């Protein structure tokens, strides 16, 4: 018997889909037969087989235009992956207001801007799945990441609250909390710190973007995760809180 995640021909929007974890999500969804739209901010490298839209998640009007564009080109949106995110790390006394604002605006307000124009439509169609990418830092905190951890903890609270509100409309909202994953974001961590982090990970390695993508596909799937909402799936090699 053929088994499927039921994502074929579904329409999914992924923010920050041009590189890192977002690109792995886009590629896996394409392999699963999903109609994928993704946003990118600065990198002009649109992937084949998906709708690439240049947009900044901090810009509310742009994200409303993204939603309208996806609906026009691909049809009603079934899934959203709020993935775009940044770090601007520093120890708190050295953290600037600009560092604080940039990270909160991108990682938390960006989630709001992405979801705001789409959620009412999911409610009206009585179906949909939202996956927000949070972080191990949002659960356990991390040195130099007061701003980032606040944004990611905020995303967890947001997702759990949305799940409660959305349940009556048959719309699900979940978060994925990656541990340390091999992307450009990891490159900004000094080598010495990376070795210390590695020594704390029971699986003795950093994660791969594809390993996060599979958790996202599970949570988007109307087949595999139809009774899963308001939860945080950790993908962290047992690097627990």
| Active centre residues (catalytic) | 148
* Among the listed residues 21, 119, 173, 219, the single contact to ligand NDP using CB under 6 A: 21
Query: What does DSSP assign to residue 172?
Result: E
Nearest distance, CB of residue 189 and ligand NDP, angstroms: 9
Q: For residues 2 and 204, which CB has a smaller minimum distance to ligand NDP in the complex?
A: 204
Buried b (16+ CB within 10 A) or exposed e, 1-18: eeeebbbeebbbbbbbbb
Cα separation of the two ends of the chain: 40
Of 14-22, 160-168, 192-200, 218-226, the segment contacting ligand NDP by CB under 6 A is 14-22
Closest CB 4 distance from ligand NDP, rounded Å: 27
**Residues 25 to 84: which contact ligand NDP by CB under 6 A?**
39-43, 56-58, 83-84
Residues 92-111 that bind ligand NDP (CB under 6 A): 106
Closer by beta carbon to ligand NDP, 171 or else 175? 175
How many C-alpha atoms does 53 have within 13 Å on its Cβ side? 25
Q: C-alpha distances in angstroms, 75 versus 11, 35, 71, 153, 203?
A: 7, 9, 4, 32, 41
Q: How far is the CB of 38 from ligand NDP (least distance, A)?
A: 8
Note whether 113 binds ligand NDP by CB under 6 A: no
Contact between 154 and ligand NDP by CB under 6 A: the answer reads no
Give 172's strand partners. Answer: 129
Determine the interface stretch with ligand NDP among 122-130, 161-169, 177-185, 224-232 (rule: CB under 6 A). 177-185
Residue 5 corresponds to which tokens in the numbers above? 């995640």
For ligand NDP, the closer of residues 21 and 37 by Cβ is 21
CB 37 within 8 A of CB 61: no
Q: Does 20 bind ligand NDP (CB under 6 A)?
A: yes
**Which among 160, 152, 144, 135 is positioned nearest to 239, based on CA atoms?**
135
Integer Cα distance of 54 and 227 in angstroms: 34
Structure tokens at 216: 């996202």
115 binds ligand NDP (CB under 6 A): no
Q: Which is nearer to ligand NDP, 128 or 138 (CB)?
A: 138
| Least distance (Å) between residue 93 CB and ligand NDP | 23
Nearest to 97 by CA among 147, 139, 49, 45: 147
Please state the closest distance from residue 50 (CB atom) to ligand NDP, in A.
13
Can you tell me the distance from the alpha carbon of 41 to that of 43, in angstroms, rounded to the nearest whole number? 6
Residues contributing to the site for ligand NDP (CB under 6 A): 15-16, 18-22, 39-43, 56-58, 83-86, 106, 133, 135, 178, 180-181, 183-186
């Amino acid at each position: 018997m053929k088994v499927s995640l039921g994502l074929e021909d579904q329409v999914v929007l992924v923010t920050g889909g041009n590189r890192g974890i977002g690109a792995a999500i886009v590629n896996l969804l394409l392999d699963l037969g999903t109609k994928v739209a993704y946003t990118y901010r600065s990198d002009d490298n649109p992937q084949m087989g998906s709708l690439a839209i240049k947009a900044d998640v901090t810009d509310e009007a742009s994200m409303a235009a993204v939603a309208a564009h996806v609906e026009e080109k691909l049809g009603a949106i079934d899934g959203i992956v709020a993935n775009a995110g940044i770090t601007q790390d520093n120890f708190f006394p050295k953290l600037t207001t600009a560092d604080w604002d940039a990270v909160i605006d991108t990682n938390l307000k960006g989630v709001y801007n992405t979801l705001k124009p789409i959620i009412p439509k999911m409610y009206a169609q009585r179906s949909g799945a939202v996956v927000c990418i949070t972080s191990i830092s949002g659960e356990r905190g991390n040195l130099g990441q007061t701003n980032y951890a606040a944004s990611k903890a905020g995303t967890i609270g947001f997702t759990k609250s949305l799940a409660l509100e959305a349940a009556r409309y048959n719309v699900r909202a979940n978060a994925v909390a990656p541990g340390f994953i091999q992307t450009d974001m990891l490159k900004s961590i000094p080598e010495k710190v990376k070795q210390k982090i590695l020594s704390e990970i029971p699986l003795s390695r950093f994660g791969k973007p594809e390993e996060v993508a599979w958790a996202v596909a599970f949570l988007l799937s109307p087949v595999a995760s139809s009774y899963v909402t308001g939860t945080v799936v950790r993908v962290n090699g047992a690097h627990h809180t």
